Structure 1
Amino acid sequence: MRPVFLALVALAALLAQPAHAADPLRLALQATGTTVWEMAVVSAYGLDKEAGLDLKITELASPEAGKIALMGGSADVIVSDWLWVARERAGGHGLAFSPVSTGIGAVMTKDLAIKSVKDLAGKKLGVAGGPLDKSWLLLKAHALRQGVDLEKAASIVYGAPPLLAEKAAQGEIDAVLEFWNFATDLEARGFRRAIDMAQVERALGATSDPVVTGYVFDEKFATAHGQTLARFFAMMKKAKTLIATNDEAWAKAAPRVPAKDKATLDLYRKRYVEAFPKGSLAEQEADAAKLFAVLAATGGEALVGSAKSLPPGTFYKAAP
């Protein structure tokens, strides 16, 4: 009986030991972003516990608030675009970017005569995000290559995405360049994607659908917590796959989606899945570098800062 007794004592001692604490990770996320959809699935399926992570999530009203949180040291990871990361690196801030989505907007309209940038001449075009929005600058560059100066040929109206969407719905503007989620909402309301910005990106030199947004963090944090980040990335990939393939998981995410009916929800899910990054990290970085050159030439220092090309290290490469 002594071996059995010793085994029981050893088991009791093992069970009495405190569990290994999960690694903390502070996330600052836009409340209307797709990452909160994924977090609903993470929570529902316990993926954070499975990954050994203790997530501290703060939901914020805007992307700018997330940038402030990261730069101020109150967040470890946010979701933003590689253009901002490149600008910050050029300014001496060691941020890094890991791809999440290729989701980008489109020129939306109900005018059947608008099929290309040339057809925007003489039209009233709404532009979400302002004169330095990267989609607008890419569209302008694409139009210039076809001999159309949109700022002269069209009547441009800048504004907030929801306001411009309503103006388009009310017929006050002929077309609107919208972010992907507002474009999806307009699509569900009978608008069509006259000019898809993913096609514009390819026309400007990209080989595939370029990455737009990703996880952003300080490279010093990545050096010190590489394994934590690796488990976070794997966890989020699992959540994304569940949303794409599992209707039960999608039902967990759906309450966070700004849509009221099933048809619109289905369209959001379709566009979300279409935006999963493709190709290798090297290919994604190469496409970003090509578009950065276009943006630098079009937007100048006001957009990209002092950088003339995509700064090395913008795209995060985990240590072996």
Structure 2
Amino acid sequence: MISRRETLRLAALGTAVLLDSHPIASAASKVRIGVLKFGTVSWELDTLKHHGFDAANRIDLDVIYFAGEDATNVAMLAGAIDMIVTDWLWVSRQRSDGGDVTLAPYSTSVGAIMVKDASPIRTIADLKGKKIGVAGGALDKSWLLIQALARRDHGLDLPSVSDVVFGAPPLISQKAIQGELDAALNFWHFCARLEADGFRRLIGVGDAQMALGASGPVSALGYVFHDKWANDNPQAARSFLKASAQAKDLLARSDEEWLRLAPVIRAEGRELAKLRDRYREGIPRRPVAEEAVDAGRLYRVLARIGGEKLVGSASEMAPGTFWQEPPQ
């Protein structure tokens, strides 16, 4: 006959075996992010997933690739994905029009005006009469900031006194290398590749931002999502951003990780080193509130020069453009 004590012992043992066979754990939070297939964001997400930072933070990260930025924007606004990467200017305009998208800083890396090492061009004033290639269009915010600085410091209206041509980033870089342009304003990673190919930075867009009123680096891009999604899924939002920070930390300190990423980045040697160093410079390190204040200052500069075509009818950056993580 089995005693009551033995019965309880066997019951406890059975429960332990059951728990060991079917561990109890909170389900991972699903996060769907849309990114460009060959964009720089994919480097960080590759690191994040390769090292299991998503699983460690209990998120099920679904990376969905798109061919163009407009497609990612439309997909998120339609609710097909939870998150994209884009700039605060777009976020502010959406909020001014009644939307609820918001931004968590991703990178302060910005482009620069690049010239060949041997070029006689030394200052913005030397761009007068020169042929300048600009990645993007006439309302590219980096181009507008460079224009604002040229007007303020040199009295130059660059579109009027220079031969400005617009094009896709790869084309602008190619034309610069071939010598068909005197200077090129391109996105940061194209600039880094040019630095490895005999070019130097005439002026960085970050320098222009500081000269025009920013007190420190401002994230050009951020992880963008709906306020409602973050409110409904606070753990998912926090956990994703924590995983992102862990990936950034690894990329900031490990040269070996960059060697692993080399096939994804499609670079090696000096070019890979330049991309690594410029990426590291762009890791956000300031409080979000400080970035938001400086973005508001830059918004006013952009609104003056870009007008309604750029910012719509709002003369000030919309409140809530930068996401303030609520206390836990």
Whether 2:187 is the aligned partner of 1:182: answer: no
**Structure 1 residues not aligned, in runs of 5+:** none
Counterpart of 2:89?
83
Distance in 2, Cα, partners of 1:203 & 1:154: 22
3-state DSSP class of the match of 1:145? helix
Matched-pair contact (CA < 8 Å) for 1:103–1:211: yes
Deviation, 1:9, is 1.2
Whether 2:301 is the aligned partner of 1:294: answer: yes
Map 1:299-318 → 2, pairs under 5 A: 299-318=306-325
| Letter in structure 2 aligned against 1:223 | N
Distance in 1, Cα, partners of 2:123 & 2:293: 26
TM-score (norm 2): 0.94
Matched-pair contact (CA < 8 Å) for 1:38–1:253: no
Deviations, residues 267-301 of structure 1 (Å, cap 9, x unaligned): 10100000011321111001100100000000011
Counterpart of 2:66?
60
Counterpart of 1:118?
125
Match of 2:263 among 231, 255, 264: 255
3-state DSSP class of the match of 1:250? helix
Whether 2:269 is the aligned partner of 1:277: answer: no
Higher mean C-alpha deviation, range 231-240 or range 4-13: 4-13
Map 1:110-259 → 2, pairs under 5 A: 110=116, 111-146=118-153, 147-259=155-267
Deviation, 1:6, is 3.2
Whether 2:57 is the aligned partner of 1:40: answer: no
Counterpart of 2:106?
100
| Letter in structure 1 aligned against 2:260 | K
Distance in 2, Cα, partners of 1:243 & 1:35: 12
Deviations, residues 62-117 of structure 1 (Å, cap 9, x unaligned): 22221111112111011101010001111111100000100100000115321221
| Letter in structure 1 aligned against 2:40 | T
Matched-pair contact (CA < 8 Å) for 1:96–1:316: yes
Deviation, 1:250, is 2.6
Deviation, 1:4, is 4.4
Deviation, 1:19, is 4.5
Identity of aligned residues (%): 42
Distance in 2, Cα, partners of 1:175 & 1:208: 26
Match of 1:15 among 13, 16, 20: 20
| Letter in structure 1 aligned against 2:93 | R
Deviation, 1:34, is 2.4
1:115 to 1:307, Cα distance in 2 relative to 1, 3 A: same
3-state DSSP class of the match of 1:314? coil
Matched-pair contact (CA < 8 Å) for 1:242–1:250: no
Counterpart of 1:29?
35
Distance in 2, Cα, partners of 1:275 & 1:156: 28
Distance in 1, Cα, partners of 2:274 & 2:309: 36
Match of 1:267 among 245, 266, 274: 274
Distance in 2, Cα, partners of 1:302 & 1:315: 22
Deviations, residues 16-47 of structure 1 (Å, cap 9, x unaligned): 44653211111101122222112222222111
3-state DSSP class of the match of 2:164? strand
TM-score (norm 1): 0.96
- Considering only aligned residues, what root-mean-square deviation do their CA atoms show, in Å? 1.4
**Structure 2 residues not aligned, in runs of 5+:** none
Distance in 1, Cα, partners of 2:276 & 2:188: 12
Deviations, residues 183-203 of structure 1 (Å, cap 9, x unaligned): 111111111001111111111
